[in-house]
Structure 1
Amino acid sequence: MGSIVQVGWIYGSTTEDVLTGLTIHGRGWRSAYCSPDPPTFLGCAPPGGPGSMTQRKRWSTGLLKIWFSTKNPLVPTLPGKFQIRQCMAYMWLILWGLRSIPELCYAILPAYCIITDSHFMPKVREPTILIPVAIFVIYNLYTLSEYLCSGLSTHAWWNNQRIWRLNTMTAWFFGFLSVVLKLLGISNTVFEVTQKDTSTNANDNDTNSGRYTFDESPMFILGTTILLVNLTALAIGLLGFRSKSGDGNGSGIGEFICSVWVVLLFWAFSKGLFGKGKYGIPFSTIYKSWAIVLLFVQLCKWS
């Protein structure tokens, strides 16, 4: 009589699909790429910003919790059950939450440098300026070429670039905080259900179709703060309200370009500042963000 093999979803996680994949791959299963035409399965995405943010936060929380569990991809890699590339692929996925920390730092670093008249980018006259410029150009051209080769448009590429940055610095960061609170025993992870958009016919005449929506979630406070910090820094720099260093080592065009790039990435929030209803950022969120911005500017002047 043959042994019984249990096959099915591995529950107990808000990202049971990844947890299941890790488990069955650790048992020796191998994946096969399958791309039927037409697609066999089609999913529904949450409509608007709040639902998308909640879903991304849930994913970030569940993925990062795997890293601190016995299902960590390093565990099957050490005895040779996982290939190194397979382990790296899983690590890239489950460490979404940790990526929010450096991205947040880089989002506010240009603003800090402009306000304090310092710099982190090489000067235009320095040959080393070619290094960050080359990285920036190569990365964007490479990712754009991937979209174009897949039959997608430049507009789709730009939208995804912005949404990835928004999710990383807001939803993923709150997912990281959720895991930290869980590890400290302060709170438990709660499965937050998101409403899915099941509509199949879009109204092309609706001018609000596809617009980003907002609510009073703390995640939007963080995104609004990042935008306002950079707008404030640009205003301080352009109007000459910062204290000049006088030694030629102050902020330059590199810091201004980086700050403008952050503003462009958060363009949906820029439109939300002047939007109405669910398409506008709530006044309570804007007030709280401005309070944080004023505190940030004051701390920069004291540094």
Structure 2
Amino acid sequence: MSISSIYAIGFILYGIVPQVCFLKGIPVFPKVTDPWFAVFAFLYVATQIQHLIEVISGDGSVSMWWDEQRIWILKSVTSLFAMTEAVKKWFGLNKKKFNLSNKAIDTDKEKIKKYEQGRFDFQGAALYMSPMVVLLIVNTICFFGGLWRLFNTRDIEDMFGQLFLVSYVMAFSYPIFEGIITMKSKSG
């Protein structure tokens, strides 16, 4: 089992708890005017800048950095569910069978077009995408519900950290939204 699944637990909690608290109006992070907010902001910005510098110094680009951030989130979320499947298999509780499939791009012009545009192709990935889609649905509900509550109560100072976090998750999730909306089933 991978060590990724251990930090994925905290990652998933961090992807749900602040957002649900945002929806309910419960502040999790310090107020913007509180000096401790600067600590949270500095740590976040510093880690993002460090990663961006690492990517650019390795002949990468800003879009590559953005994609790495997105893939890290996807890997983190799915690794916990993969560990759960491994434990279930170990105890003989796993009923799901995995078949190997060709991940190379074949002559399907639509797949080639999606690849060239950098868009997600969900074909054959339903089991791995379901945890991400569940988190996406929770975050979407919390985002719009929290915004509605925020417009009515006008407590942006208390809720800015959570608004930023849920907005950040929504920005990363755009390709998944796009993939779900444009997904076509093979049956028609």
RMSD of the TM alignment (CA)? 3.1
What do residues 107-160 of structure 1 show as CA deviations (whole Å, max 9, x unaligned)?
112221112211211111111111211111111111111111111111111111
The match for 1:186 among 68, 84, 93 is 93
Q: Residue 261 of structure 1 corresponds to which residue in structure 2?
A: 168
Aligned partner of residue 29 in structure 2, secondary structure: coil
> Is it true that 1:142 corresponds to 2:85 in the alignment?
no
The one-letter code matched in structure 2 to 1:142 is Q
The residue aligned with 1:252 is: 159
CA deviation map 1:188-213 (0-9, x unaligned): 896642413267xx99x946623201
In the alignment, structure 1 residue 166 sits paired with structure 2 residue 74: yes
Matched, 1:235 2:144: yes
TM-score (norm 1): 0.52
Cross-structure match for 1:115: 23
Question: How much does 1:180 deviate?
Answer: 2.3
Q: Return the offset for 1:187.
A: 3.2
Matches within 5 A, 1:17-32: none
Q: Per-residue CA shift, 1:225-278, capped at 9, x if unaligned?
A: 21121121121122238996xxx8x95111110001111122221212321426
Question: Could you tell me whether the CA contact under 8 Å between 2:25 and 2:149 is conserved in 1?
Answer: no
Matched residue, 1:73: none
Higher helix share: 2
Does 1:196 find its partner at 2:103? Answer: yes
How many residue pairs get aligned? The number is: 179
Match in the other structure for 1:60: none
- Percentage identity across paired residues of the two chains: 21
> Structure 2: how far apart are the matches of 1:225 and 1:196?
24
Per-residue deviation at 1:177?
A: 0.6
Quick check: 2:136–2:173 contact (8 Å CA) kept in 1? yes
Paired with 1:208 and 1:253, the residues of 2 have a C-alpha distance of: 36
The alignment's TM-score, normalised by the length of structure 2, stands at 0.80
Q: CA 1:207–1:95 in structure 2 vs 1: closer, same or farther (change >3 Å)?
A: closer
Give the gaps of 5 or more residues in structure 2. none
Counterpart position of 1:125 = 33
Match for 2:133 among 224, 247, 255?
224
- Per the alignment, do residues 178 and 242 of structure 1 end up closer, same or farther by CA in structure 2, a change over 3 Å counting? farther
Deviations, residues 78-122 of structure 1 (Å, cap 9, x unaligned): xxxxxxxxxxxxxxxx30122221111111122211122112111
User: Which structure exhibits the higher relative contact order, with contacts defined as CA atoms closer than 8 Å and separated by 6 or more residues?
Assistant: 2
CA distance in 1, matches of 2:160, 2:67: 26
